[in-house]
Structure 1
C-alpha cells in the first residue's frame, strides 16, 4: 500500500488496510528440534511516512461488496461524464 498510494490518482476505498511492521522480508529458519521456527528480519523500510503497526484508513469507507461496486460505478460514470463535457 505504501508504494501503491504514491501513484497519481490512486485512492484507497473500502476498509482499513492491515497493519504491518517496517520489515519487508523475513527469513524463516526451522530449529533443529522441529518444534519451533525462528523468524529473522532481513530488510527494513526506511523513511516510511506510516509507522509500524499503523493501518491505512480509507477516505471512503465501504463495508460491503455491493457498496464498493455501487461507489465504483458512480466514480466511473462521473469520469465518463467529465470526458464527454465540452
Structure 2
C-alpha cells in the first residue's frame, strides 16, 4: 500500500512541541517550497496542515493538524486518552 502522507492531530496547545520534535528527526526535511501553498493536494477535501515536513528521498509528507479545526466535534485531547477506558473516554472516541 502506498501513501502520500502521515497525518497526526495534535492538541492546539502542543503544536510547537510536536513540530519541534519533527525538526529533530534525521529522516525528515523542511519543505523546499517557501511559498504559502498547502501541503495537501488540491483534490483533498481537508484543511492544510498546521506544520509539515517531508520524509527524505520520497514524496511522503508528515503533517500536524490542529485539533480545534480538524476534529472540532471531539472534546479537547488530553492525558486521559493515554490509558482510555469506557468511563473516561469521550463518547466520540472508540476504545
Q: Which has the higher helix share?
A: 1
Rg comparison, structure with higher value: 1
For normalisation by structure 1, the TM-score amounts to 0.24
For normalisation by structure 2, the TM-score amounts to 0.23
